[in-house]
Amino acid sequence: MGTDEVTMLLEDLRRGSAGAPARLIEVVYAELRVMAGAAMRGERSGHTLQPTALVNEAYLRLLGTQDRLEDRAHFFGAAAKAMERVLVDYARSKQALKRGGGAQRVTLDQVQANAPSPGIGVLEIHEAVMEMEREDPEMASLVRQRYFIGLTLEQIADVNQVSLATMKRRWTVAKAWLYARL
């Protein structure tokens, strides 16, 4: 999928072109599905939310922000945020049902690997990312892309059109910020 193709489809979507939403999902669905699968690997086994449902819910939320989606990087950044909101909403509903007993726990080391482990919960990571966003939106976007949709640093560098070395430096800073905060 080319950067230009997604950008052109987003422009078509903003102009209200018939068929643009269907064509956009056709072009980005496979990549969103991979992202959702990576995000779901971090969830407990037997999780009732499936990757397909996560993609569908996130995409529906993205359609409401179509006027602000400028290019491929913005689109996948918004996708990461949408998936984060879906997972957080799901975690909150489960937590409310179980009075806090059902929160998913992960360690900060697993933030990069996106694997479950006793430690910090999804809601705590979400709250930290929201605080981080007030200070540094780019760093918050990086954490969302790593944690909530499971992208590698190489993939994030590609989406954001920066060098891998730059992305590695940013990730080091983001992890240090999270360790200090959490």
Of 3-7, 26-30, 34-38, 42-46, the range with the highest mean pLDDT is 26-30
At 77-93, the pLDDT tens digits run 888 888 888 888 887 88
* Residue 105 confidence (pLDDT) above 60: no
Predicted TM-score (pTM) of the model is 0.64
pLDDT per position as a tens digit, 107-140: 555 554 443 334 567 788 888 999 999 999 999 9
User: What pLDDT was estimated at residue 164?
Assistant: 95
Res 159 pLDDT > 90: no
The residue ranges of every structural domain in the chain are 3-181
Predicted confidence at residue 100, as pLDDT, reads: 47
Amino acid 182 reads L
**Per-residue exposure over 54-67, b if at least 16 CB sit within 10 Å of its own CB, e if not:** bbbbbbebbeeebe
pLDDT at residue 174 is higher than 90 = yes
3-state helix, strand, coil in the chain (%, to 5): 75, 0, 25
Q: What percent of the chain has pLDDT over 70?
A: 80
In this structure, how many other beta carbons lie within 10 angstroms of the beta carbon of residue 136? 15
